[in-house]
Chains A and B, each alone.
Chain A
Amino acid sequence: MAAAVGRVLRLGGRWSAAAPGGPRAQMLRLIYTTTAVQRKNAGASGPEKYTEAFIKKQIEEFNLGKRHLANMMGEDPETFTQEDIDRAIAYLFPSGLFDKQARPMMKHPTEIFPEQRKIQWGEDGRPFHFLFYTGKQSYYSLMHETYEKLLSVQKYQDQLTAQDLPPQKEKRENICDILNRNLAGSRWLTKIELEEMLLEKLSDDDYSRFIQLLQKLMTLPCGNIEEKYIQKFSKVVPAQLQKIVIEPLKYDERGVAFSTGEGKRKTARATAVVYDNGTGKITVNGIDVLHYFPVLQDREQLLFPFQFLDRVGKHDMVCTVSGGGRSAQAGAIRLASAKALRSFVTEKEVEFMRQAGLLTVDPRVKERKKPGQEGARRKFTWKKR
C-alpha cells in the first residue's frame, strides 16, 4: 500500500521493478520515501559476488595505478614493490587513525576481495561436483577422500596379514618419529584455517569429526603410507625455547668477563652490566644501592637472582634505570640482572631460572579508569534511593 502510493508520486513514470537504487533516487522526487520497496531487494543473495571480469578489471587498474604512483614518486615503475607502494601511500595520504586497517591502502585485488567460489554449474545446468546437492561439497568430498584413504590402508593391512607378514614391518621407527614429532612440534589445522582451505563455512561438529577421522587414519599400524596426505592437514610448531639466543660473555680491558641485560617492569626500564670476579658491589645510576634503595624489600629483589644461583658475593653490578616508581625500578633491575646472568650459567640453570619466573617480563600494568566508575574496578557508592 505504501509502496503503491510511493510509486504514484514518482514523476515521469520511468521506473522498473528491478532498477538499482542509485540512479532511481536521482530521477524521482518523492514526497516521502518508502522502505517497502527496498526491503524486497535486501538480503536476497547473501554476500556480494564478484565476477571474474570485475576482478580482472581491478587487477588492470591496480597495475596502472602502480605505475602512475611510481612516476609520481620519481621511482622506476618496473621495480616498484609492494613495500614501496605502502610507503608512498603513507607519505601522500598521512592518516592519524589508530586502526591500521582503517588507513588508506593500495593492495593487489586478490588480497582485498576475498577468494570466492565461482558458479558451480555449467551451461546446461548440471553442477560440476558430484556432491553439489549436499550443500557443503568441499567438506564432504574431503571426508569422502579421507575415508577412501582409510579403506585403502585397511586393505593393505589385510594383504599383509594374508601374506603372513607382520603389519608393522621395519617402519616401526617411523611411527615413533611421527608420534614424537606430533608431541613436540606439530598440530592439526585450526577450524579457521580449514575453512580458508575449503572456502566453505564449517560447524564445530564437522571440524571435530574430520580431525577424529585423521587421527584414526594416523593411529592405524600402516598409517604411514598416507603420510603425505596427513601432512597436508598438519602444521609444524617450532619449540619456543630454541628461539632465545643466549649471548656469549664479553671481556673488557682489564680481562674481566661481563655481560649486559635489559629489563622492564610497569613503566621502568633498566639495563644492567654484571662483572665477574667481584665482591657483590651494586651501583645504580652512579649511586650505591644502599642509598638508592633505602627499603630492604627492594634490595632483596635485587639480590634474588644471585641468591637463586648461589653467586651472592661473586659478581659486581652496574645498572642504569629510569621511569616508574621504587618497586617498579627494583623489579626492572632484577629482570635485567637475571638476563645478564644467563651468559654465566649452564643451560640447566637457565631452565631453572625460567621456571622460577626470573626471566619472564611481568605483564601487569595499571588498569585504566572507566567512565561511570570511580576507578578501574571500584564503582560509585550505590544508593538505594
Chain B
Amino acid sequence: DDKLLSEPLSHPDFFNVKELFSLKDLFDARVHLGHKKGCRHRFMEPYIFGCRLDQDIIDLDQTMQHLQLALNFTAHIAYRKGIILFISRKRQFCHLVESTARECGEYAHTRYWQGGLLTNAHIQFGSGVRLPDLLVFLSSLNNAFQPHVAIRDAAKMNIPTVGVVDTNCNPCLITYPIPGNDDSPTAMELYCKLFRMTIIRAKDKRRQSEVFDELR
C-alpha cells in the first residue's frame, strides 16, 4: 500500500501529462489572447509575452510549463482518491463545467457561492462532511470582476488550488496558476478536455495498480 502511494512521487511526470497538449493546440484554442492593456493586473506582468494593438498576449511557453505542473498535480490528487471541485462563475460555461465534472466523477460549483461553504462547512452540510482536496478554477473572477471568494477560503482551509488566470486576475493566492484565456469557448473546452483526460487517466492507473497488488 505504501509503495502504491510513494511510487508515483518519484517520477517528475508519472502520468505523462505532457503528451495531452502541445503549443499548437494552445495557440489554436486562442489561449494566448488576454484582455486589453487597461485591464492588466500588475502581478500578471511576468506572464505576459507582449502587447499588440493594446491587447495583451500571454507567453505560451510559460503557460505550457504551468499547465504541465498543474495537470501533474491534479493527476496525483485524483490518483490518491482526493475530492476535486471545479469552480467557474462564467455563466456561458456553467453547463460545460458541470458536465465535465459529472463525467470525471468529481464535483462542480458554478453557482452563487454561499459564504460559509468551506469555512463553515460543519454547520452548512452537517458534521462529518469531507471538504474538497483540490479546487480547480476555470475562471478565477466572479460576476463582479473581483477575485472569487473560494480562493481566499481555500487558502484559509489549507486546500491547494489550481486556477486559470487571465490578464485581469490576481494569481497571488493560487498554488498552481495557469496563465491563459478564460473567455473564449474554444479555450474553455480545451481546459475541460485536458482536466477530464488527466483525471480519468489517473483514476484508471490507480485501479490498475490496485488490481496488480491484489494479484500479487
**Chain A interface residues toward B at CB < 8 A:** 44-45, 119-121, 124-127, 130-136, 140, 144, 147-148, 151
Verify if B129 is at the interface (C-beta below 8 Å from A). Answer: yes
Q: How many whole Å from B15's CB to the nearest CB in chain A?
A: 21
Closest 8 CB pairs of A and B: A125-B130, A130-B102, A134-B109, A133-B109, A134-B111, A135-B114, A130-B107, A133-B107
CB–CB A132/B107 < 8 A: yes
Q: Which residues of B contact A131 (CB under 8 A)?
A: 98, 107-109
CA distance A144 to B81 in the complex (A): 26
Cβ proximity bits B5-20 to A, threshold 8 Å, 1 near / 0 not: 0000000000000000
CB–CB A144/B95 < 8 A: yes
Residue picked from A45, A125, A133, most chain B C-beta under 10 Å: A133
The residue on B at minimum CB distance from A141 is B98
For A133, give its contact among B105, B117, B127 (CB under 8 Å). Answer: B117
Task: Sample 27 A-B pairs with CB under 8 A, ordered by A number.
Answer: A44-B123, A45-B126, A45-B127, A120-B125, A120-B126, A121-B130, A124-B81, A125-B128, A125-B130, A126-B81, A127-B83, A127-B107, A130-B98, A130-B101, A130-B107, A132-B125, A133-B85, A133-B107, A133-B109, A133-B117, A134-B109, A134-B111, A135-B124, A135-B125, A136-B111, A144-B95, A147-B95
Verify if B132 is at the interface (C-beta below 8 Å from A). Answer: yes
Cβ proximity bits B78-109 to A, threshold 8 Å, 1 near / 0 not: 00010101000000000100100110011111
CB–CB A133/B95 < 8 A: no
CB–CB A130/B117 < 8 A: no
Count chain B residues whose beta carbon lies closer than 8 angstroms to a beta carbon of A: 24
Q: How many whole Å from A124's CB to the nearest CB in chain B?
A: 7
CB–CB A133/B126 < 8 A: no
With A133-B109, A134-B109 as known contacts, state yes or no: A126 contacts B83, CB within 8 Å.
yes
The residue on B at minimum CB distance from A132 is B107
CA distance A52 to B123 in the complex (A): 22
The residue on A at minimum CB distance from B116 is A135
The residue on A at minimum CB distance from B132 is A133
Q: Which residues of B contact A133 (CB under 8 A)?
A: 85, 107, 109, 117, 132
The residue on B at minimum CB distance from A147 is B95
CB–CB B111/A140 < 8 A: yes
Residue picked from B95, B98, B101, most chain A C-beta under 10 Å: B98
CB–CB B130/A126 < 8 A: yes
With A130-B107, A144-B95, A147-B95 as known contacts, state yes or no: A135 contacts B130, CB within 8 Å.
no
CA distance A231 to B128 in the complex (A): 39
Q: How many whole Å from B102's CB to the nearest CB in chain A?
A: 5
CA distance A129 to B136 in the complex (A): 18
Q: How many whole Å from B204's CB to the nearest CB in chain A?
A: 17
The residue on A at minimum CB distance from B118 is A133
Q: Which residues of A contact B124 (CB under 8 A)?
A: 135
CA distance A140 to B102 in the complex (A): 13
Q: How many whole Å from B107's CB to the nearest CB in chain A?
A: 5
CB–CB A144/B125 < 8 A: no
CA distance A134 to B87 in the complex (A): 10
Q: Which residues of A contact B83 (CB under 8 A)?
A: 125-127
Q: How many whole Å from B211's CB to the nearest CB in chain A?
A: 18
Q: Which residues of B contact A151 (CB under 8 A)?
A: 95
Q: How many whole Å from B86's CB to the nearest CB in chain A?
A: 10
Extra contacts besides A130-B102, A133-B107, A135-B125 (10): CB < 8 Å? A45-B126, A120-B126, A125-B128, A130-B107, A131-B108, A133-B109, A134-B111, A144-B95, A147-B95, A151-B95
Q: How many whole Å from A282's CB to the nearest CB in chain B?
A: 70
Q: Which residues of A contact B130 (CB under 8 A)?
A: 121, 125-127
With A45-B126, A124-B81 as known contacts, state yes or no: A144 contacts B98, CB within 8 Å.
yes
CA distance A44 to B95 in the complex (A): 35
Q: Which residues of B contact A147 (CB under 8 A)?
A: 95
CA distance A125 to B109 in the complex (A): 18
Q: Which residues of B contact A124 (CB under 8 A)?
A: 81
CA distance A121 to B124 in the complex (A): 14
For B95, give its contact among A119, A126, A134, A148 (CB under 8 Å). Answer: A148
CA distance A132 to B85 in the complex (A): 10
Q: Which residues of A contact B126 (CB under 8 A)?
A: 45, 119-120
The residue on B at minimum CB distance from A140 is B111
CA distance A126 to B131 in the complex (A): 9
Q: Which residues of B contact A126 (CB under 8 A)?
A: 81, 83, 130
Q: Which residues of B contact A45 (CB under 8 A)?
A: 126-127
Q: Which residues of A contact B101 (CB under 8 A)?
A: 130
Q: Which residues of A contact B85 (CB under 8 A)?
A: 133
CA distance A225 to B194 in the complex (A): 34
Q: Which residues of A contact B102 (CB under 8 A)?
A: 130
